[in-house]
Structure 1
Amino acid sequence: MIEIEVQNETHQTQSRLRFAAVPRIGEGLRLREPDGIWASYDVLDVWYQKAEYGDVWIPFLHVRMTEGELTSPHPKQGLDVYGEFAPFRI
């Protein structure tokens, strides 16, 4: 597992997440919103910085919410209009 610093442009937050592989620019990710609902994000930038210890490079991601997620309202508590669980909205 690779621990990656994710900088979220939509919510102006930073978090460290573990990935099996480093996502590429233009790929999409599913990240949990502050309200607990999953949303789609686009990878805008990927870069590496040398760690303070050893000869290790740490990956960083810069992400922004997918345009369709910004225009559609969040269903309440993960349910769609029919009361069914809706994990993906796009």
Structure 2
Amino acid sequence: MVEVEVQNESDQTEKKLKFVTVPRIGEGVRLTDERGFKASYDVLDVWYQEGEFGGVWIPYIHVRKTP
């Protein structure tokens, strides 16, 4: 399991979620929206930043609710 920081453009929130693989740009993911319902989101961007302890890279994804 990979812990990914998800930055949601639709409701301006950030969450850490666990995925089996890091989603790629253009893929769709199902997440719980701000009201607690499942919704579809599009992955807009994927990037990695070096973690607080050296040698570990943390994945981030930027998502937006699918219209």
After superposition, residues 14-53 of structure 1 pair within 5 angstroms as: 14-53=14-53
Q: Distance in 1 between matches of 2:45 and 2:27?
A: 10
**Amino acid aligned to 1:41:** Y
Q: Distance in 2 between matches of 1:27 and 1:39?
A: 14
| Cross-structure match for 1:3 | 3
Q: CA deviation at 1:10?
A: 0.1
Q: Which has the larger radius of gyration?
A: 1
Q: Distance in 1 between matches of 2:33 and 2:45?
A: 20
**Amino acid aligned to 1:52:** E
Report sequence identity in percent: 63
Q: CA deviation at 1:54?
A: 2.3
**Amino acid aligned to 2:53:** Y
Moved over 6 A (4+): none
Bigger helix fraction: 1
For structure 1, the residue ranges without an aligned partner over 5 or more in a row are 68-90
CA RMSD of aligned residues (A): 0.5
| Cross-structure match for 1:76 | none
For structure 2, the residue ranges without an aligned partner over 5 or more in a row are none
**Amino acid aligned to 1:47:** W
Count residues with an aligned counterpart: 67
